[in-house]
A and B are shown apart, each in its own frame.
Chain A
Amino acid sequence: MIPRPKPERFRLRRTMMFMNAQKPGLIKDAYIYGVDSIMLDLEDAVAENQKDSARFSLYHALKTIDYGDTEVIVRINGLDTPHWQEDIRVCVAGGADGIRIAKCESAQDVKTVEEHVLAAEREFGVEEGRTLLMAALESPKGILNAYEICAASDRMFGVAISGGDFRKCMQTKFQPDGVDMLAARGQMLIAARAAGIQCFDTVFTDLDDMAGFETEVRQNKAMGFDGKSLINPKQIRLVHEIFAPTEKEVRQAEAMVSAFREASAAGIGVFTVNGKMVDIAFIPGAERTLKLAKACGMYEGDLV
Chain B
Amino acid sequence: MKNAVGREIPDFLLKDGKEVYQGKNYMDGKYLKKASPCTRRYEKPQESKIVSSIAEALCQVGAKSGMTFSFHHHLRNGDYVVNMVMKSAIEELGLDDITIAATSLGDAHDPIAEYIEQGKVVGIQTSGIRGKMGEVVSAGKLKTPAIIRSHGGRPRAIEAGEVHIDIAVVAAPTSDCVGNCRGIGGKSNCGSLGYAMTDAKYADHVIVVTDCLVDFPNMPASVEAIDVDAVVVVDSIGDPRKIASAAARISQNPRDLMMAENVAKVIASTPWFKEGFSFQTGVGGPSLAANLFLEKYMDERGIKMGWAIGGICGPMVELLKKGKVGKVIDVQDFDLDAVNSINQTPGHYEMSASQYANPANKGAFVNKLDFVVLAALEIDTGFNVNVLTGSDGVLRGAPGGHPDTAAGSKCCIIVTPLVRGRMATVCEHVVTVTTPGDCVDVLVTDYGIAVNPLRPDLIECLDNAGIPHVSIEELKEKAYSIVGRPDDLQWEDDVVAVLEARDGTILDVVRKIKPLSLND
Q: Residues of A at under 8 Å CB distance from B?
A: 29, 32-33, 232-234, 237, 297
In the complex, which residues of chain B have a beta carbon less than 8 angstroms from the beta carbon of A29?
Answer: 446-447, 482
Are B258 and A33 closer than 8 Å at their CB atoms? yes
Contact with A along B258-287 (1 / 0, CB 8 A): 100100000000000000000000000000
12 contacts between A and B (CB under 8 A): A29-B447, A32-B255, A32-B446, A32-B447, A33-B258, A232-B254, A233-B254, A233-B255, A233-B257, A234-B257, A237-B261, A297-B466
| Min distance, Cβ A244 to any Cβ of chain B, angstroms | 13
In the complex, which residues of chain A have a beta carbon less than 8 angstroms from the beta carbon of B258?
Answer: 32-33, 233
Are A33 and B447 closer than 8 Å at their CB atoms? no
Taking CB atoms and an 8 Å cut-off, the chain B residues in 432-479 that contact chain A are 446-447, 466
Task: State in angstroms the CA–CA spacing of A254 and B258 once bound together.
Answer: 32
B residues contacting the other copy or chain, number (CB 8 A): 9
Known contacts A29-B446, A29-B447, A32-B447; A234 and B254 CB within 8 A of each other: yes
In the complex, which residues of chain B have a beta carbon less than 8 angstroms from the beta carbon of A234?
Answer: 254, 257
Most buried by B among A32, A33, A233, A234: A32
Task: State in angstroms the CA–CA spacing of A52 and B255 once bound together.
Answer: 28
In the complex, which residues of chain B have a beta carbon less than 8 angstroms from the beta carbon of A232?
Answer: 254
| Min distance, Cβ B478 to any Cβ of chain A, angstroms | 10
Task: State in angstroms the CA–CA spacing of A33 and B448 once bound together.
Answer: 10
Most buried by A among B254, B255, B447, B482: B254
Are A33 and B466 closer than 8 Å at their CB atoms? no
In the complex, which residues of chain A have a beta carbon less than 8 angstroms from the beta carbon of B482?
Answer: 29
- A-B CB pair tally, cutoff 8 Å: 18
In the complex, which residues of chain A have a beta carbon less than 8 angstroms from the beta carbon of B446?
Answer: 29, 32
Task: State in angstroms the CA–CA spacing of A233 and B482 once bound together.
Answer: 21
In the complex, which residues of chain A have a beta carbon less than 8 angstroms from the beta carbon of B257?
Answer: 233-234
Task: State in angstroms the CA–CA spacing of A232 and B254 once bound together.
Answer: 7
**Secondary structure of the A side of the interface?**
helix
| Min distance, Cβ B410 to any Cβ of chain A, angstroms | 26
Task: State in angstroms the CA–CA spacing of A232 and B447 once bound together.
Answer: 18
Q: Residues of B at under 8 Å CB distance from A?
A: 254-255, 257-258, 261, 446-447, 466, 482
| Min distance, Cβ B425 to any Cβ of chain A, angstroms | 14
Are B254 and A33 closer than 8 Å at their CB atoms? yes
| Min distance, Cβ A26 to any Cβ of chain B, angstroms | 9
Task: State in angstroms the CA–CA spacing of A234 and B257 once bound together.
Answer: 8
Task: State in angstroms the CA–CA spacing of A172 and B124 once bound together.
Answer: 68
Task: State in angstroms the CA–CA spacing of A234 and B255 once bound together.
Answer: 9
| Min distance, Cβ A237 to any Cβ of chain B, angstroms | 7
**Interface contacts beyond A32-B255, A233-B254: sample of 16 additional A-B pairs, CB < 8 Å, sorted by A:** A29-B446, A29-B447, A29-B482, A32-B258, A32-B446, A32-B447, A33-B254, A33-B258, A232-B254, A233-B255, A233-B257, A233-B258, A234-B254, A234-B257, A237-B261, A297-B466
Task: State in angstroms the CA–CA spacing of A237 and B254 once bound together.
Answer: 12
| Min distance, Cβ B258 to any Cβ of chain A, angstroms | 6
Minimal Cβ-Cβ distance residue in B for A25: B255
Minimal Cβ-Cβ distance residue in B for A232: B254
> Nearest 7 pairs between A and B by C-beta?
A233-B254, A32-B446, A297-B466, A234-B254, A234-B257, A32-B447, A33-B258
Minimal Cβ-Cβ distance residue in B for A28: B482
Minimal Cβ-Cβ distance residue in A for B419: A29
| Min distance, Cβ A65 to any Cβ of chain B, angstroms | 9
Minimal Cβ-Cβ distance residue in B for A297: B466
| Min distance, Cβ B422 to any Cβ of chain A, angstroms | 13
Task: State in angstroms the CA–CA spacing of A91 and B120 once bound together.
Answer: 65
Task: State in angstroms the CA–CA spacing of A33 and B430 once bound together.
Answer: 27
| Min distance, Cβ B446 to any Cβ of chain A, angstroms | 5
| Min distance, Cβ B66 to any Cβ of chain A, angstroms | 52
Task: State in angstroms the CA–CA spacing of A33 and B482 once bound together.
Answer: 17
Minimal Cβ-Cβ distance residue in A for B259: A32
| Min distance, Cβ B32 to any Cβ of chain A, angstroms | 47
In the complex, which residues of chain B have a beta carbon less than 8 angstroms from the beta carbon of A237?
Answer: 261
| Min distance, Cβ B284 to any Cβ of chain A, angstroms | 19
| Min distance, Cβ B519 to any Cβ of chain A, angstroms | 33
Task: State in angstroms the CA–CA spacing of A234 and B293 once bound together.
Answer: 12
Minimal Cβ-Cβ distance residue in B for A26: B254
In the complex, which residues of chain B have a beta carbon less than 8 angstroms from the beta carbon of A233?
Answer: 254-255, 257-258
Task: State in angstroms the CA–CA spacing of A297 and B257 once bound together.
Answer: 21
| Min distance, Cβ A204 to any Cβ of chain B, angstroms | 15
In the complex, which residues of chain A have a beta carbon less than 8 angstroms from the beta carbon of B254?
Answer: 33, 232-234
| Min distance, Cβ A28 to any Cβ of chain B, angstroms | 8
Task: State in angstroms the CA–CA spacing of A232 and B258 once bound together.
Answer: 11
In the complex, which residues of chain A have a beta carbon less than 8 angstroms from the beta carbon of B261?
Answer: 237
| Min distance, Cβ A149 to any Cβ of chain B, angstroms | 33
Task: State in angstroms the CA–CA spacing of A233 and B255 once bound together.
Answer: 8
| Min distance, Cβ A181 to any Cβ of chain B, angstroms | 27
Minimal Cβ-Cβ distance residue in B for A207: B252
| Min distance, Cβ B46 to any Cβ of chain A, angstroms | 59
| Min distance, Cβ A34 to any Cβ of chain B, angstroms | 8
| Min distance, Cβ A228 to any Cβ of chain B, angstroms | 17
| Min distance, Cβ A296 to any Cβ of chain B, angstroms | 10
| Min distance, Cβ B461 to any Cβ of chain A, angstroms | 16
Minimal Cβ-Cβ distance residue in B for A31: B447
In the complex, which residues of chain B have a beta carbon less than 8 angstroms from the beta carbon of A33?
Answer: 254, 258
| Min distance, Cβ A240 to any Cβ of chain B, angstroms | 12
Task: State in angstroms the CA–CA spacing of A32 and B419 once bound together.
Answer: 13
Minimal Cβ-Cβ distance residue in B for A34: B258
Task: State in angstroms the CA–CA spacing of A32 and B256 once bound together.
Answer: 12
| Min distance, Cβ B462 to any Cβ of chain A, angstroms | 13
Minimal Cβ-Cβ distance residue in A for B445: A32
| Min distance, Cβ B384 to any Cβ of chain A, angstroms | 25
Minimal Cβ-Cβ distance residue in B for A208: B252
Task: State in angstroms the CA–CA spacing of A234 and B253 once bound together.
Answer: 9
In the complex, which residues of chain A have a beta carbon less than 8 angstroms from the beta carbon of B466?
Answer: 297
Task: State in angstroms the CA–CA spacing of A233 and B261 once bound together.
Answer: 12
In the complex, which residues of chain B have a beta carbon less than 8 angstroms from the beta carbon of A297?
Answer: 466
Task: State in angstroms the CA–CA spacing of A233 and B254 once bound together.
Answer: 6
Task: State in angstroms the CA–CA spacing of A33 and B261 once bound together.
Answer: 11
Task: State in angstroms the CA–CA spacing of A33 and B254 once bound together.
Answer: 9
Task: State in angstroms the CA–CA spacing of A232 and B252 once bound together.
Answer: 11
In the complex, which residues of chain A have a beta carbon less than 8 angstroms from the beta carbon of B255?
Answer: 32, 233
| Min distance, Cβ A137 to any Cβ of chain B, angstroms | 28
| Min distance, Cβ B415 to any Cβ of chain A, angstroms | 14
| Min distance, Cβ B467 to any Cβ of chain A, angstroms | 9
Minimal Cβ-Cβ distance residue in A for B446: A32
Task: State in angstroms the CA–CA spacing of A29 and B482 once bound together.
Answer: 10
| Min distance, Cβ A35 to any Cβ of chain B, angstroms | 11
Task: State in angstroms the CA–CA spacing of A29 and B478 once bound together.
Answer: 12
Minimal Cβ-Cβ distance residue in B for A233: B254
In the complex, which residues of chain A have a beta carbon less than 8 angstroms from the beta carbon of B447?
Answer: 29, 32
Task: State in angstroms the CA–CA spacing of A237 and B447 once bound together.
Answer: 17
Task: State in angstroms the CA–CA spacing of A33 and B446 once bound together.
Answer: 8
Task: State in angstroms the CA–CA spacing of A297 and B464 once bound together.
Answer: 12
| Min distance, Cβ B268 to any Cβ of chain A, angstroms | 15
| Min distance, Cβ B176 to any Cβ of chain A, angstroms | 47
Minimal Cβ-Cβ distance residue in B for A32: B446
Task: State in angstroms the CA–CA spacing of A297 and B258 once bound together.
Answer: 18
Task: State in angstroms the CA–CA spacing of A232 and B261 once bound together.
Answer: 15
Most buried by B among A29, A237, A297: A29
Task: State in angstroms the CA–CA spacing of A33 and B253 once bound together.
Answer: 12
| Min distance, Cβ A66 to any Cβ of chain B, angstroms | 9
| Min distance, Cβ A100 to any Cβ of chain B, angstroms | 22
